[in-house]
Amino acid sequence: MKLLVKTLAFGRSWMLRRQLSEVERAIEGLNAEQRRALHALTQREFSAASKLEIPHFYCSEGHDRYSPWGRGTEVAMERVRSGNQTLMLRGLALWLAVAYHETKDVGYAQIEVLHRRVLRSVRRLRESVEGRRAVRAELSMAEAV
């Protein structure tokens, strides 16, 4: 049984790593305004997911309660690949929130590494948005003086 669980965990981590690479490329391709919108959407998705009893099942309709993961990341990737800018941003935010909760405190080394990568992506997004705000605030203060 342990071998089966480890095999499933490895397969899931492999798929999520592939998806995360695609998500990171999509985020890097966004301009400043799109990143601000994505940051706001991501905060909302994290908040909504954390209110659920089982947060990693967020946006998974018709899932088996005892399955180790839901369909949230697959739904998110469909949105990311849609070609519609608004839908893509919503998909990126959804993917980050669901993947964060799905990889949190799992106990397998390869998934813990993946969790840190998800956290890093969220942090980079936040810093890219907040960093620009801080620079603008400093410029405004300098102009006022």
* Side chain identity at residue 60, one-letter code: S
Range of the domain at 128: 2-144
Please indicate, yes or no, whether the overall pTM of this predicted structure exceeds 0.85. no
pLDDT in tens, 91-123: 999 999 989 988 888 778 888 999 999 999 999
d(CA 36, CA 30) in angstroms, rounded, equals: 10
Convert the pLDDT of each residue in 47-79 to its tens digit: 888 876 665 656 666 655 556 677 778 888 999
- Read off the amino acid at residue 55: P
Q: What backbone torsions phi and psi does residue 4 show, to the nearest 5 degrees?
A: -65, -45
Q: Is the pLDDT score of 145 beyond 50?
A: no
Q: How many domains does the chain have?
A: 1
Digit-coded pLDDT (tens) for 28-45? 999 999 999 999 999 998
pLDDT of amino acid 131: 75
Judge whether residue 8 has pLDDT over 70. Answer: yes
HSE-CB for 76 with a 13 A CA cutoff: 29
E strand or H helix at 34: helix 32-50
Long-range CB contact pairs, 78-82, < 8 A, 24+: 80/22, 80/23, 80/26
Residue 29 CA to residue 44 CA, distance in Å, equals: 22
Residue 56: the pLDDT is: 61
What are the pLDDT digits (tens) for 132-141? 555 454 444 4
